[in-house]
Structure 1
Amino acid sequence: MKEKQSIKGYRYVLQAFLMWGVLAIYWKSLKHIGEWELLSHRVIWSFIMLTIYLGITKKNQFKQIWRNKKNRYALLSTSILIGINWGVFIYAVNADKIVQAGLGYYITPLVNMFLGITILKEKLTKTKTLALTMVTGAILFLTLKVGEFPYISFILAFSFGFYGLVKKTIKVDNLPSLAFETTLLLPLAIAYQGFLWSNADSSLNHLDLQSIFLLIGTGIITILPLYWFTKGARKVNLTTVGFFQYVAPTIMLLIGIFVYNEPFESNHIIAFAIIWSAIAIYVYALIVEKRKK
Structure 2
Amino acid sequence: MKKEHQSIKGYLYVLQAFLMWGVLAIYWKLLKNIGEWELLSHRVIWSFIILTIYLTVTNNNQFNSIWKNKRNRYSLLTTSLLIGINWGVFIYAVNTDKIVQAGLGYYMTPLVNMFLGITVLKERLTKMKTLALIMVSGSILFLTLKVGEFPYISLLLAFSFGFYGLIKKTTKVDTLPSLAFETTILLPFAITYQAYLWLTNTISSSIFEFPSTLLLIGTGIITIMPLYWFTKGAKIVNLTTVGFFQYLAPTIMLLIGIFIYHEPFKLSHVVSFAIIWLAIAIYVYSLILEKKRHKMNL
Distance 1:86 1:241, change over 3 A: same
1:247 corresponds in structure 2 to 248
TM-score by length of 2: 0.84
| Structure 1 residues 31-180: aligned runs within 5 Å | 31-123=32-124, 125-180=126-181
1:27 corresponds in structure 2 to 28
Distance 1:151 1:135, change over 3 A: farther
CA contact (8 A) 2:105 2:155 kept: yes
User: What amino acid is aligned across from residue 56 of structure 1 in structure 2?
Assistant: V
> C-alpha distance in 2, partners of 1:235/1:128?
19
Distance 1:147 1:243, change over 3 A: closer
1:124, CA displacement in angstroms? 5.1
| Structure 1 residues 256-271: aligned runs within 5 Å | 256-271=257-272
Distance 1:22 1:60, change over 3 A: farther
**Structure 2: which 5+ runs fail to align?**
none
Distance 1:280 1:103, change over 3 A: farther
CA contact (8 A) 2:36 2:91 kept: yes
CA RMSD of aligned residues (A): 3.3
1:179, CA displacement in angstroms? 0.5
> C-alpha distance in 1, partners of 2:13/2:78?
28
**Structure 1: which 5+ runs fail to align?**
none
> Over residues 25-45 of structure 1, what are the superposed CA-to-partner deviations in whole Å (9 max), with x where a residue is unaligned?
110111111111111110010
2:280 corresponds in structure 1 to 279
> C-alpha distance in 1, partners of 2:287/2:276?
16
Q: Judge which range, 144-153 or 155-164, deviates more.
A: 144-153
> C-alpha distance in 2, partners of 1:68/1:22?
36
CA contact (8 A) 1:16 1:226 kept: yes
Q: Judge which range, 255-264 or 113-122, deviates more.
A: 113-122
Aligned length: 293
CA contact (8 A) 1:65 1:72 kept: yes
1:211 corresponds in structure 2 to 212
Distance 1:277 1:149, change over 3 A: farther
CA contact (8 A) 1:30 1:211 kept: yes
Q: Judge which range, 231-240 or 74-83, deviates more.
A: 231-240
2:199 corresponds in structure 1 to 198
Q: Judge which range, 15-24 or 237-246, deviates more.
A: 237-246
User: What amino acid is aligned across from residue 36 of structure 1 in structure 2?
Assistant: W
> C-alpha distance in 2, partners of 1:12/1:52?
23
Percent identity between matched residues is 77
Distance 1:156 1:205, change over 3 A: closer
1:239, CA displacement in angstroms? 9.3
Q: Judge which range, 245-254 or 151-160, deviates more.
A: 245-254
For the residue of structure 1 that corresponds to 2:170, the secondary structure is coil
User: What amino acid is aligned across from residue 263 of structure 1 in structure 2?
Assistant: P
Distance 1:229 1:144, change over 3 A: closer
